[in-house]
Amino acid sequence: MTTITDTDVLSRVGNTSLVKLDSLSHNNIEYFAKLEGNNPFGSVKDRAAYWMIKDGEERGILKKGKSIIIEPTSGNTGIALTGIANVLGYKVEIVIPEKVSNETKEIIRNLGAKVFETSDDLCPKVGAGTDQSIALATSIASSRPDTYYSPNQYANEANFRGHYEGTGPEIWKQTEGKVTHFFTGVGTGGTITGIGTFLKEKNPNVKIIGCQPQQNHLIQGWRNFEESAKPDLFLKREHVVDDWVSVDNDEAFSVVKEVFEKEKLLISPSSAAVYACMKKYPIEGDACVVGIFADDGRKFRSVYATQNVMTEEEFDNTLKEAKHMSELAY
């Protein structure tokens, strides 16, 4: 646990770095990664968690010392909600699919949340009546509606607003309005619709490109729309997406080492999937391309060993040499 103060932690949500990817940039096309792992609890989800908790407070639903926040999540939202709720004085209960990496579950437990595991696939399957994480969270919350508050990131407008008012304007400013293409994966759709809506208001020609993982994928935080329904938050503004690129597990895992060797970045599976999509998507003429690297690689030691990406020893050496690994608040 670091010694940074509570207010420091909250002031560090957002304003993440945008770094140039020399390994992809060529001729008149520049590629950039927005490093969301630089958020205090290590992912893009710090933004959604912070905005949803603040919104709950402003609407008088969350009461300090009384309310318990409960949420079904595949990982990063659990870490972010628990970390931020701790700082603001709320208890948290997280319902998580057991397939999520042990490192992620450990972080959530160490941050102080009560964790319930279900035997779901990696992502809660919104809309599929069989999803156990969502069913369990709903059933616990309905037992004491005056105490429990579920932000429900899949439909919460504050999740969208965090990106529409935060990440989108940051990208516009960091690229000096030059961004022409934007790539990200979709979990709730908050990131792609929030940033996409903002960028298109600034320049309707900006292309918003969604990355789709294979069915039965291993990309924590993403969803494949053939095996899982589209969340309400995404459906509301899905028209902002101009194009989709598919990416399978092998394509994603195969670039992790390459990106370390060429960029000295230790990236997560979803960042690897974005990198692989940017690498294969055909773009002509002058362009400024931005991809979301939603978290960094440090939670994926065991996943990378199991998937034969690198041994645990190689991982530890990589971590020592990796650039842009900011200090996390846990």
158 versus 192: smaller Cβ distance to ligand PLP: 192
Least distance (Å) from ligand PLP to the CB of residue 6?
Answer: 24
CB of 160 to ligand PLP, least distance (A): 9
Of 153, 127, 163, the C-alpha closest to 240 is: 163
Task: Give CA separation, 113 vs 26, 122, 148, in Å.
Answer: 46, 19, 14
Question: Which positions lie near ligand PLP, rule CB under 6 A?
Answer: 44, 76, 184-192, 220-222, 270, 292, 294-295
Q: What is the DSSP letter of 155?
A: T
d(CA 135, CA 231): 15
Q: Pull the structure tokens for residue 8.
A: 């420091």
User: Dmax over Cα atoms in the chain, in whole Å?
Assistant: 60
Question: Which residue number, 83 or 91, has a Cβ lying nearer to ligand PLP?
Answer: 83
Of 289, 21, 35, the residue nearest 179 (C-alpha): 289
Structure tokens at 40: 């205090």
DSSP string across 133-152:
HHHHHHHHHHHSTTTEE---
In the complex, least distance from residue 188 CB atom to ligand PLP, rounded to whole angstroms = 3
Task: Kindly state the smallest distance separating residue 308's Cβ from ligand PLP, in Å.
Answer: 21
284 Cβ partners below 8 Å, 6+ apart? Answer: none
Nearest approach, Cβ of residue 300 and ligand PLP (Å): 10
**Which residues carry out catalysis?**
45, 270
Residue nearest to ligand PLP (CB): 221
**Whose Cβ is closer to ligand PLP: residue 44's or residue 247's?**
44
Place of tokens 């935060």: 166
Task: Tell me whether residue 91 or residue 162 sits nearer to ligand PLP (CB atom).
Answer: 162
For ligand PLP, which is the closer residue by CB, 113 or 195? 195
Q: Which of 69, 68, 54 is closest to 14 using CA atoms?
A: 54
